[in-house]
């Protein structure tokens, strides 16, 4: 079958919107680290909108830090791909022209440094997953026990982590008297810009304190809130798309229509006018990011853990279960909402209603198993702050404790039908298959890196988690959630 590329794009059906600009007219100005599905369906789309409306040297050099699959898919397609928006009633497709090139760091480490150190590049964006920042569970310090972090602390060539690549490239920029960069983390981490800055400065302090000083004074690390649900593409979606397009697109992404991007207005130099195409530049991102992490992401994770254990494949399937729909509704209203601080009058009710509709979108299957990946990293960003706040303010903790119990149960690696699954999360390896009874009170040493002394200081939380675990064993995980509504 024909493959999508510059030579074939004009044979795409008319219903596929084409980039409204001459791709060759604009040079790269952004390097993106971690060019996975989310970047292609979110930041690259905002940038494509900027190029279409205003032009500018803002095309993107994408970097894969781990594998080569995205480069291998995009290179023969001249870096073109489609974004396919799947709403419950509509499908909209568009071709994205913003990506100029993709580099696979594993094969081309020097080319990655050259791109980051190019004078025309002023912005670096990152979607490298929560663990890509190399931080320990406190989120404040590098995890020096990790071999990848250790290698980059020692300054080895080629670098391994995103931080290692950035340190090498920024050293070159400093040596060439080039301006600093605006480095924009687009991962689901609270204070993502601050965390990126801390992690990079700690690495550079160890290697070269002068570089750390230079970064402090020339670079900016705005925090962001990013939102669009973009599940990993399934083979059957790609096959169906090829039939619709009349050609293959190996790098296609499938996303929901909703999108949001809130960026702290703190830049080291020019950035694309994303604010003119739907993003918001604000002074303080924190209230937005807390709203999203604690409402959307925490609910997602709870549904994912319960879903995997109960054998429920997707989020849309999970929210058709009445007790799970009610659990999420109750969690959002009674436990998460009181912890949030957006200005009075912010339409939280509408936001929460819309979230449930987004979860229920059957046109966009989102596997519970995908969301459950790296759970321990996610738990600390999403659910733990809600539990802490409610413990400190004598609030309700039932749903958060149910969530933590579900995470512990998920970490056992075997579902309620006896089927084993891989727990793709290095930090929870210690919890799986030890044969000890599954109780927060019995696991306090193993849980300490994530929870600190929370369970010792707040026995009511430990008791609640253990009561949920006992209820799961007795009634099954989904039936147990009925207790919330009794």
Options 1-9, 81-89, 112-120, 227-235: segment touching ligand CS2 (CB under 6 A): 227-235
Instruction: Select from ligand NAI, ligand CS2, none the partner in contact with residue 132, using the beta carbon and a kind-dependent cut-off of 5 to 8 Å.
Output: ligand NAI
Check whether the bond before 158 is cis (ω within 30° of 0).
Answer: yes
From 224-232, 280-288, 316-324, 404-412, span contacting ligand CS2 (CB under 6 A): 224-232
Q: Which does 297 bind (CB under 5 to 8 A by kind): ligand CS2, ligand NAI, none?
A: ligand CS2
Angle, to 10 degrees, between the axis of helix 348-359 and the axis of helix 298-310? 30
CB closest to ligand CS2, residue no: 300
User: Choosing among ligand CS2, ligand NAI, none, which partner's interface includes residue 36 (Cβ < 5 to 8 Å by kind)?
Assistant: ligand NAI
Cα-flanking dihedrals φ and ψ of residue 193, to 5°?
Answer: -65, -45
Footprint (CB under 6 A) of ligand CS2, residues 299-338 = 300
At 256, list the tokens.
Answer: 């929901």
Q: Does 40 bind ligand CS2 (CB under 6 A)?
A: no
Q: Looking at 229, 277, 332, 364, which residue binds ligand CS2 (CB under 6 A)?
A: 229
**Binding residues vs ligand NAI (CB under 6 A):** 34-39, 64-67, 127-132, 161-162, 187-188, 226, 228-230
Contact in structure between 129 and 190 (CB atoms under 8 Å): no
CB nearer ligand CS2, residue 166 or residue 302: 302
Give the residue closest to ligand NAI by C-beta: 36
User: Least separation, in Å, of the C-beta of 365 and ligand CS2?
Assistant: 12
* Cβ closest to ligand NAI, residue 229 vs residue 306: 229
Options 78, 187, 227, 398; binder of ligand CS2; rule CB under 6 A:
227
Determine the Cα–Cα distance for residues 42 and 287; give it in Å rounded to an integer. 21
Size of the site for ligand CS2 (CB under 6 A): 10
Task: Candidates 297, 323, 334, 444: give the one binding ligand CS2 (CB under 6 A).
Answer: 297
Closer of 296 and 461 to ligand CS2 (Cβ): 296
Return the one option of ligand NAI, ligand CS2, none that residue 300 interacts with (CB less than 5 to 8 A, by type): ligand CS2
Task: Report the site for ligand CS2 in 185-204 (rule: CB under 6 A).
Answer: 188
User: Which of 194, 228, 367, 458 lies at the binding interface for ligand CS2 (CB under 6 A)?
Assistant: 228
CB of 77 or CB of 427, closer to ligand CS2: 427
Within 10 Å of residue 16's Cβ, how many Cβ atoms?
18
x-marked contacts with ligand CS2 along 242-261 as a string, rule CB under 6 A: --------------------
**Residues near ligand CS2, by CB under 6 A:** 188, 227-229, 296-297, 300, 370-371, 378
């Amino acid at each position: 079958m024909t493959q999508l590329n510059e030579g074939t794009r004009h044979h795409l059906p008319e219903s596929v919107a084409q980039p409204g600009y001459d791709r060759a007219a604009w040079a790269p100005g952004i390097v993106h680290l971690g060019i996975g599905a989310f970047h292609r369906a979110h930041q690259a789309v905002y940038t494509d909108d900027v190029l279409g409306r205003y032009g500018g040297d803002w095309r993107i050099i994408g970097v894969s830090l781990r594998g080569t699959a995205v480069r291998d898919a995009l290179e023969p397609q001249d870096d073109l791909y489609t974004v396919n928006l799947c709403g419950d009633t509509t499908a909209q497709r568009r071709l994205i022209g913003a990506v100029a090139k993709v580099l696979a760091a594993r094969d081309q480490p020097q080319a990655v440094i050259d791109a980051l150190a190019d004078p025309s590049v002023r912005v670096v964006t990152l979607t490298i997953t929560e663990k890509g920042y190399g931080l320990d569970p406190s989120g404040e310090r590098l995890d020096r026990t990790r071999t990848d972090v250790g290698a980059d602390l020692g300054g080895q060539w080629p670098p391994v982590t995103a931080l290692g690549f950035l340190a090498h490239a920024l050293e070159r920029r400093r040596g060439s008297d080039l301006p600093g960069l605006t480095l924009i983390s687009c991962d689901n981490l609270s204070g993502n810009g601050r965390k990126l800055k801390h992690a990079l400065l700690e690495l550079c302090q160890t290697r070269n304190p002068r570089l750390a000083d230079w970064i402090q004074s020339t670079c900016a690390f705005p925090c962001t809130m990013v939102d669009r649900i973009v599940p990993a593409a399934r083979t059957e979606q790609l096959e169906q798309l090829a039939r619709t397009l009349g050609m293959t697109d190996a790098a296609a992404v499938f996303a929901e229509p909703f999108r949001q991007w809130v960026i702290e207005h703190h830049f080291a130099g020019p950035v694309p006018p994303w604010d003119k195409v739907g993003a918001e530049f604000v002074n303080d991102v924190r209230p937005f990011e807390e709203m999203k992490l604690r409402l959307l992401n925490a609910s997602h994770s709870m549904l994912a853990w319960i879903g995997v254990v109960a054998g429920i494949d997707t989020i849309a399937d999970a929210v058709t279960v009445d007790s799970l729909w009610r659990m999420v509704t109750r969690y959002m209203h009674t436990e998460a909402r009181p912890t949030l601080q957006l200005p009075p009058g912010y339409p939280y009710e509408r936001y929460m209603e819309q979230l449930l509709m987004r979860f229920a979108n059957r046109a966009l299957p989102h596997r519970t198993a995908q969301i459950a990946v790296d759970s321990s990293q996610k738990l600390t960003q999403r659910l733990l702050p809600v539990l802490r706040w409610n413990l400190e303010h004598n609030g309700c903790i039932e749903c958060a404790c149910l969530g933590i119990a579900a995470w512990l149960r998920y970490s056992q690696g075997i579902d309620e039908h006896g089927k084993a699954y891989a727990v793709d999360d290095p930090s929870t390896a210690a919890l799986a298959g030890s044969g000890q009874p599954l109780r927060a009170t019995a696991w306090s040493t193993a849980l300490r890196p994530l929870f600190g002394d929370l369970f010792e200081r707040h026995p009511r939380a430990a008791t609640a988690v253990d009561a949920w675990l006992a209820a799961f064993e007795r009634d099954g995980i989904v039936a147990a959630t009925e207790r919330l509504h009794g």
